[in-house]
């Protein structure tokens, strides 16, 4: 089965490949026009999204990122959306650091299979 065959396959591959810190591995899972909303800003298209990922990987040495409690909240033949909790741990300036938050990802089906068209990550409310 292709990694883009189902929304579930895309999210599983994304959760695995993001920890390799190589944006080229994520490109087949992301739509060219995708928008990503992070606490650091809004990024649209491969170049902007790549820079956001690579800046994070440079700052968070040895980062490991994972998803928990992924739930599909909408699903059709053309689009799907899921929510989840995300966690990470890394080294920042020689010190162990960790964080967590919540996320939403929207996927759309194209002629090339399912792709991420939007991701929104945010901190938990205080």
Domains plus CATH for the chain? 7-82+98-111 (3.10.450.50)
Q: What is the DSSP letter of 11?
A: H
**CA-to-CA distance for 27 and 29, rounded, in angstroms?**
5
37-67 residue pLDDT tens? 998 899 999 999 999 999 999 998 899 999 9
User: Structure pTM?
Assistant: 0.92
């Amino acid at each position: 089965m292709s990694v883009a065959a189902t929304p579930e396959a895309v999210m599983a591959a994304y959760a695995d490949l993001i920890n390799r810190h190589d944006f080229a591995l994520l490109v087949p899972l992301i739509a060219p026009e995708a928008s990503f909303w992070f606490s650091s800003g809004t990024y649209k298209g491969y170049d902007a999204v790549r820079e956001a990922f690579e800046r994070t990987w440079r700052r968070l040495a040895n980062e490991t990122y994972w998803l928990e409690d992924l739930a599909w909240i909408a699903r059709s033949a053309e689009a799907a959306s899921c929510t989840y909790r995300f966690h990470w741990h890394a080294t920042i300036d020689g010190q162990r650091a960790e964080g967590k938050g919540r996320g939403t990802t929207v996927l759309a089906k194209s002629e090339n299979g399912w792709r991420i068209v939007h991701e929104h990550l945010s901190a938990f409310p205080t």
